[in-house]
Amino acid sequence: MIKTFTDEGRLANLFRILSFFPTFYELFHVTFTKLLKGSMGPLNRTWKSYIGLMVASEQQCQYLVSVMKIEFLYNGGDPNWLIGLDYVPTKLRNISALILKLARQPWRLNSDDISHLLAGGVLGDAWSRGELVQVTLIIGTFLGLSSFIMGCGIVPEIDM
């Protein structure tokens, strides 16, 4: 917890709850930090933050929406993207269908859904396999995290 406080400058409500499970907390913090803030993988921090924000919005998890909005802007994200999907690049907008399907009916995901994202349609809108793997990890992480947060009743901090 001390490392989290020194790294983040605060101890968020989520981390306070997770601190009741120290072993899980340590593993979660390392994994989450590498996934979202690490430089490994093809996606930049801005896109990773925005994808997390998209998932949190789909799940209607106000706590994560607040956290990810701050994270997105801190990483140099375009404030216009926060207005809605009409303001984001088409490539990123296309991932919203995957988020919706994984959030609501994951058993209906099929190879056509993945092929559509890999093909892209217009030049530059196609996702690479590496990007899609990273996106899927982010989506899965934020779907589970949203459920945990809402199940525990965690609310945004006053200053968010």
pLDDT at 6 (0 to 100): 59
Question: Would residue 27 count as lying in a domain?
Answer: no
The first and second tokens of residue 135, run together, are 């996106």
Question: Would residue 16 count as lying in a domain?
Answer: no
Domain count of the chain? 1
> Which of 61, 64, 92, 117 does the annotation list as catalytic?
61
103-117, pLDDT tens digit by residue?
Answer: 999 999 999 999 999
d(CA 136, CA 100): 12
- Structural domain of 104: 41-152
Mean pLDDT of the chain: 90
Instruction: Note the pTM of the prediction, 2 decimals.
Output: 0.90
Question: Would residue 35 count as lying in a domain?
Answer: no
Exposed e or buried b for every residue in 47-77, given b needs 16+ CB within 10 A? bbbbbbbbbbbbbebbbbbbbbbebbeebeb
Question: Would residue 49 count as lying in a domain?
Answer: yes
Which CATH number goes with the domain that contains 138?
Answer: 1.20.1290
Closest alpha carbon to 35 in 154, 152, 133: 133
Question: Would residue 79 count as lying in a domain?
Answer: yes
Q: Is 152 a catalytic residue?
A: no
Question: Would residue 23 count as lying in a domain?
Answer: no
Alpha carbons within 13 angstroms on the beta-carbon side of residue 18 total 18
